[in-house]
Chain A
Amino acid sequence: MIAPRWRKVLRDTFGQRGRSLLAVLAMAAGVFEITTMVHEYALLEPALHGMYARTRPASATLLVDRVSDALVDSVRCMPGVGDAEARPVIVARVRVGPDEWVPARLQVVRDFGAQRLDTFEPDHGAWPPGPDDVLLERTALRVAKVGIGATLALRIEGTADRSVRVAGTVHAAGLPPAWMEHMVPGFVAWNSSLREGGVESAQIRMVVADHPLEEGHIREVADSVRTRLERLGHTVTRVTVPPPGRHPHADQMEAFLFLLLAFGILSFALSAVLVASMMHALMAEQVRQVGMMKAIGATDRQVAGLYLGQIALLAAGALIVGVPPGLLAGRTFAVFAAGVLNTDVSGAPFPLWGVAVVAFIGFVVPPLVALGPVRRAARIPVREALADDPPAPRLGGRRMRGLEGLAWLPRPLRLTLRATFSRRLRLALTVGMLAVGGATFMSALNVSSAWLRAVNDDFGRRHYDLAVGLDQPQPVAAVAAALAAVPEVERAEYWPAASPYLVGPGGVATRTVSLVGPDPGSRLLDLALARGRWLAPGDRHTAVVNGAVLALDPDLAVGDSVRVRLRGRTEAFQIVGIARELTPMASVYAPRADVLAATGQHDDEARSLRIVTRAHDDAGERAAARALEREFERRELPVTGLMRMRDARQGILDHLVIIWSVLAAAALVVVVVGGLGLTSMLTLGVVQRTREIGILAAIGATPTAIARDVWIEALVIGALSWVVAVALAAPLSWGLETACGNIFFKTGLGFHVSPLATGGWLALVLVLASISSFLPARRAARLTVREALSHA
């Protein structure tokens, strides 16, 4: 038999369904967020780390003059080497439309059935490919605009155009998705017809036998292999050591998880404030009953236990309501994120630690948050609780005078506002909850906007529309004639450029960098400088490097020398400035004369062009690009790459899709939870003012006027919360923008407050307030005078 006190709990809970439902939904919002986050993390974490680790990513890649099975066997036997595999790479361009090409990178695989490193799995179609076939990474079909069985037209430097059949697709979990990189990754057989003509770059990939995650150790082993290969008579032009154990999109993942965690905590704080407000509301309604129970012998502890029991019951309901959609949302989000990161999510069960976290959040946090209001209510003196007239709310003299100063407002409305401002704790909780929500919403949009602004600003400093790379240096006169024949082109500059290797500590060539020699007086480039200065006329052997160079060699600073290896020689440039660029490509900008000298090009030759088109829209730039491709082909000036800056910019923005998804989800949760909170607070306000509403009605206030006052109260609370939210959002946005920029671009995004976010939240909070006030306003308007005056 259930004790009467617990029957009261059950009847209170199920008897007032609307209020209980609001409380359950408030708690369920927190449970939903945490379940979503935990499930998503639980699904993605093993997918990212496990799947990437299962591809056996190479510790280092050595670029050699030629590769053979014997050479790879000898590398495998070298000290410190765990395994090695030949993986030559063919750099090509794929035709995706008339005069439209995208870059492609085709790996030559020794044995599809016995891959050793950087492995991939069959997805659809043939396996292994024949000599005239190519297998594309599964995300590349969309970029190459082909299907399985289609013919792919390829243009490879120094050879005639070729065609291969797309025999199938593979899943290479270690590669980023092709649509994000705007590049076509593919795999061809050792006997592929594409290898004819020696067009590939011979590469040996290796893993170290021990300490696979220690970059220093990997560099030592790779250096030792390089020395031994050179002793065997080979030329090693480059040694690349990627960050050990890090997925190519680890930065994105970290930014994603950081934001997920940050907004998870913020959303959770929002739910906690909402639950606290709700409990405060619940206890305020129960004060009289608390007094009755205490009068007949209930101790403070028994009263508190009773209400904590009710909260536990509501919390159980919240778990039932919040967990299933949380699991579903977590999986949906994980599948989406996995797609963005070119991986698959497994059917990993919800982890035990996740169950513990959700149970803690669902069962322990609500009673914990409610402890304050419950204790306060349980301790109320019986006389006070049973008083016919509850103690008058206190309103400071200044605020009272302030409200009285608004004499132009109707008196009933002034009474309403006075009641709002006099219940300070309730007002603080409501405003606080909405302000946390508003700050979260605005921060999400501010970060998003700062990101977009940083990308736009970066590309806005490049006053050209197309970047063209030629296969060989060509006479400027010939190039200029080709450009003159394309009416879509307005003007161009010829910048000598090359792709040398950055020489790292110990004199080892590491990663490819872009060495560019713009005119010091060029009007096409206006990079922002983090430190130092831009190149000046008359400079010699100086350079400006971007942040990506510093990411490769963090010891470099203004005044140091950056060294690059080109044509077998090491060139040193004294750094005079650090440019703030968002591109992940490491770039070294040096005086034109120095780059010409380093590359062996002549002043009257051009290999790298920056072109300004006449039309600056998508169609105009695309038309110019096609016309240029045609014209260069007609004049037999082979192009190795033609990039629209619009595509480059989109490429960076595509990397942010996953980040924006978190920000959008956070904003959505805030809107839902904020609406719930405001509704519950306004309902409580109406309940607490029932007698007052009855008196107003008795002396002639119409239901419309009463409902209007409730609505205006909601608008005032909403507007007040907006002011607090704006103040909270500023430091929050700054922190998130700085952290995200540093994780992703190795530089802060710069503080930015989006006027759209600020104004948008004001509009949204007022709409929310209007919607949320509908039910309480209707309740107030429908109260009869008799009901209102008899309300205890």
Chain B
Amino acid sequence: MIRLRSVTKTFETPAGAFAALRGVDLDIAAGEFTAIVGRSGSGKSTLLNLMAGIDRPSAGTVAVGEATLDTLSNDRLASWRGRAVGIVFQFFQLLPTLTAAENVMLPMDFAGTIRPAERRRRALELLARVDVPEQADKLPATLSGGQQQRVAIARALANDPPILLADEPTGNLDSATGADILRLLGELSAAGKTVVLVTHERGALDGTTRTVTLADGRVVS
């Protein structure tokens, strides 16, 4: 499903070049619930960004499903991302001027995969699935952190992507709410989604099917 070969990512910083990833080889199969762990600065988020097509490798190849990401143009990469992956961020990244339902409808709008007349109904279904149906017409600023993250997960599912990528989804939540979110991701994995979770919390590993540990930009286990 997800295949990385000899992936290196180097960033130019004022202090000089910094290698975030060094020759990473990794395969994640369809339906796996994979946790990527490691200390701060180990390259976890960089690895997730490469899988999401948010960033490009300095060397090596990243293939997700049938798509080889480094060969796609920016626009094709964005279109692919909208249909093939759902991304959940630590800070939710909901558009502040759109309601919860509208935030969920937005990826459908950009991808054009679902007929306009059906988008709201699907958005409400998704919000119900993540247990926040009554928040559909509220703006993000009026929701709690946990509710916002649930809306963000509903948004990630908008175009029914086979892959869900979550970058520290519990990092900004209290432990109880964080546990609820992890349970939700587990349910989605159980429903057939390939879920990749970046976390530095040991407790988040419960329920995952695989753990990949990074250290200094390398896969160590």
Which among B35-43, B82-90, B180-188 touches the partner chain?
B82-90
- Contact check, B78 vs A297: say whether CB atoms are below 8 A apart: yes
Whether the pair A383, B102 counts as a contact (CB closer than 8 A) is no
A297 x B79 contact (CB < 8 A): yes
Which residues of the partner chain A approach B158 to less than 8 Å between Cβ atoms?
296
Which of B14, B52, B81, B156 has the largest count of A CB atoms less than 10 A from its CB? B81
Which B residue sits closest to A14, measured CB to CB?
Answer: B97
Q: How many residues of B contact A (CB 8 A)?
A: 36
Q: Does B111 contact A (CB under 8 A)?
A: yes
Q: What residues of B have a CB within 8 angstroms of the CB of A298 in the complex?
A: 78, 82, 110
- In the bound complex, what is the Cα–Cα distance between A292 and B152 (angstroms)? 11
- Once A12-B97, A297-B83, A382-B54 are accepted as A-B contacts, the answer to whether A5 and B106 lie under 8 Å apart by CB is yes
The residues in A between 166 and 223 inclusive whose CB is less than 8 angstroms from any CB of B are none
Alpha-carbon distance between A610 and B97 when the two chains are bound, in angstroms: 80
Contact (Cβ within 8 A) B81 A289: no
The complex places the Cα of A302 from the Cα of B158 at a distance, in Å, of 18
Bits for A280-292, please: 1 = Cβ < 8 Å to B, else 0. 0000000011011
Known: A4-B98, A4-B106, A301-B75. A295 touches B116 (CB 8 A): no
A3 to B102: give the CA distance in the assembly, Å: 9
A:357-376 near B, CB below 8 Å:
none
- Smallest CB separation, A399 vs chain B (Å): 16
The smallest C-beta distance from A181 to any residue of chain B, in angstroms, reads: 64
Residues 1-30 of A, flagged 1 when their CB comes within 8 A of B and 0 if not, give: 101110110011001000000000000000
The interface bits of chain A over 296-321 (1 if a CB of B lies within 8 angstroms of the residue's CB, else 0) are: 11111110000000000000000000
Given contacts A297-B78, A383-B55, contact A11 B106 (CB under 8 A): no
Against B, the Cβ 8 Å flags (1 = close, 0 = not) of A750-761 are 000000000000
Which residues of B have CB within 8 Å of A11? 97-98
Q: Is the CB of A15 within 8 A of B98?
A: no
Partner of A295, one of B75, B81, B102, B111: B81
User: Which chain B residues in 113-144 approach chain A with CB under 8 Å?
Assistant: 116-117, 120
A294/B78 in contact, CB under 8 A: yes
Given A1-B116, A4-B106, do A295 and B52 touch, yes or no (CB 8 Å)? yes
**Which chain A positions have C-beta within 8 A of B155?**
296
Instruction: Say yes or no: A295 contacts B87, CB within 8 Å.
Output: yes
For B107, the closest partner residue in chain A by CB is: A296
> Smallest Cβ distance from B145 to chain A, in angstroms?
13
Bound-state CA distance A295–B79 (Å) is 10
Take A300-B74, A383-B54 as given contacts and tell me if A4 and B93 are in contact as well, using a CB distance cutoff of 8 Å: no
Q: Do the beta carbons of B54 and A295 come within 8 Å of each other?
A: yes
Residues on A with beta carbons closer than 8 Å to the beta carbon of B111 = 297
Is B110 in contact with A302, judged by CB distance below 8 angstroms?
Answer: yes
The CA-CA distance from A354 to B134 in the complex, in Å, is 53
Which chain A residues lie closer than 8 Å to B216 at the CB level? none
The smallest C-beta distance from B34 to any residue of chain A, in angstroms, reads 20
Nearest residue in B to A1 (C-beta to C-beta)? B116
**A15 touching B102 in the complex, CB below 8 Å, given contacts A297-B78, A383-B54:** no
Interface digits, B100-111 against A, CB 8 Å rule (1 contact, 0 not)?
001101110111
Q: Is the CB of A293 closer than 8 A to any CB of chain B?
A: yes
Q: In the complex the two chains form, what is the Cα distance from A301 to B76 in whole Å?
A: 11
| Contact indicator A383/B49 (Cβ below 8 Å) | yes
Complex formed: what's the CA distance from A302 to B79 in Å?
10
Taken together as a complex, chains A and B put the C-alpha atoms of A792 and B90 apart, in Å, by 14
B78: chain A residues at CB < 8 Å are 294, 297-300, 302
Closest to A392 in B: B14
A414 contacts the other chain (CB 8 A)? no
**Pick from B79, B94, B96, B116: contact of A299, CB under 8 Å:** B79
Q: Which residues of A contact B94 (CB under 8 A)?
A: 292
Inter-subunit contact B49/A296 (CB<8 Å): no
Give the docked Cα–Cα distance between A379 and B155 (Å).
23
Query: Which residues of B lie under 8 Å from residue A292 when comparing CB positions?
Result: 93-95
11 further interface pairs, Cβ-Cβ under 8 Å (given A299-B110, A379-B74): A4-B109, A8-B102, A11-B97, A291-B93, A295-B89, A296-B107, A297-B107, A299-B78, A299-B79, A300-B78, A383-B55
Q: Give the A-binding residues of B (Cβ under 8 A).
A: 14, 49, 52, 54-55, 74-75, 78-79, 81-83, 87, 89, 91, 93-98, 102-103, 105-107, 109-111, 116-117, 120, 155-156, 158-159
> 28 A–B contact pairs at CB < 8 A?
A1-B116, A3-B109, A4-B98, A4-B103, A4-B106, A8-B106, A15-B97, A288-B93, A289-B96, A291-B93, A293-B95, A293-B110, A295-B89, A296-B81, A296-B82, A296-B87, A296-B106, A296-B107, A296-B155, A296-B156, A297-B78, A297-B82, A298-B110, A302-B110, A381-B54, A382-B49, A383-B49, A383-B55
